[in-house]
Amino acid sequence: MDTVLFFNVATEIEEKSGEPTGFPQYHFSFVSYTDIKYKGRDSRHLTDVIGQLDAVTNVTLIDLPNNKGSVFKSDLFLILLTGQKIRIRIWNPRSDDLDMTTIICLPYKPIIVVAGLQVRQYHGCNCINTCSGTRFYVDPDNKEAIEVRARFPYNDTVVKLISGDQIDTNYNYSYNYAARKTVEQLLYMNPLTIKI
């Protein structure tokens, strides 16, 4: 079997010594929450993230605008090493890549690496979406996963399943300033400070 490697002007080649078995099986370039938040509108680079899986939605069918058909989607909610929460939209056919039933049945919240994500702006907000190059790794054996596991030790909590039909754009994982309020609390708030 032949392997073809493509290089561009930004490719850096480093000489490594030692046995090939000593090299890591995977290589990721993880980004921080700030990197995701301020990612450029025209960025063409794929993004890798690592975090503890906190919640998932079931796979739902949505209709695309302008009668362009329908597509399956689901969401992953990760807690990054720094404690920020992000939402990753998984579009079909990537919605079948993770065995959600097995993950939900785990007696703990696993560490997930999602490699090859697109960060795009939609209505002024950065959205994290899967693409054809996206890959998922559950409980990988690398130093970053060990750091995340040390930050979030096992505490007998499991992954939450959230109905995809009930989730909206103001779900608290989408925006770090989102908060739950009762109608009574809203009545006493300054209307100019309420974010919709």
**CA separation for the pair 50, 140 (Å, rounded):** 10
Write out residues in the chain with pLDDT < 70, as ranges: 1, 20-25, 40-43, 164-181, 192-196
CA-atom Rg of the chain in angstroms? 19
Judge whether 114 and 52 are in contact, CB under 8 Å.
Answer: no
Domains and CATH numbers, the chain: 27-193 (2.40.50.140)
- pLDDT tens-place string over residues 60-92: 888 887 778 888 888 999 999 888 999 999 988
Q: Can you give the pLDDT at residue 176?
A: 44
Give percent of the chain with pLDDT exceeding 70: 82
Q: Report DSSP letters for the chain, one per residue.
A: --------TT-------S-GGGS-S----B--HHHHHT--TT----EEEEEEEEEEE--EEEEPGGG--EEEEEEEEEEETTS-EEEEEEETTGGGSS-HHHHHHSSS--EEEEEEEEEEEETTEEEEE--TT-EEEES--SHHHHHHHHHS---S---EEE-TTT--TT-TTT-TT-----HHHHHTS-GGG---
* pTM summary value: 0.70
- What's the Cα-to-Cα distance from 163 to each of 56, 57, 184, 196, rounded to whole Å? 8, 5, 26, 21
Position 170 scores a pLDDT of: 42
Q: Which tens digits make up the pLDDT trace of 159-178?
A: 988 876 656 544 444 444 45
pLDDT at 175: 45
Which pLDDT does position 35 carry in this prediction? Answer: 84
What is the pLDDT at residue 154?
Answer: 80
pLDDT at residue 163, rounded to an integer: 78
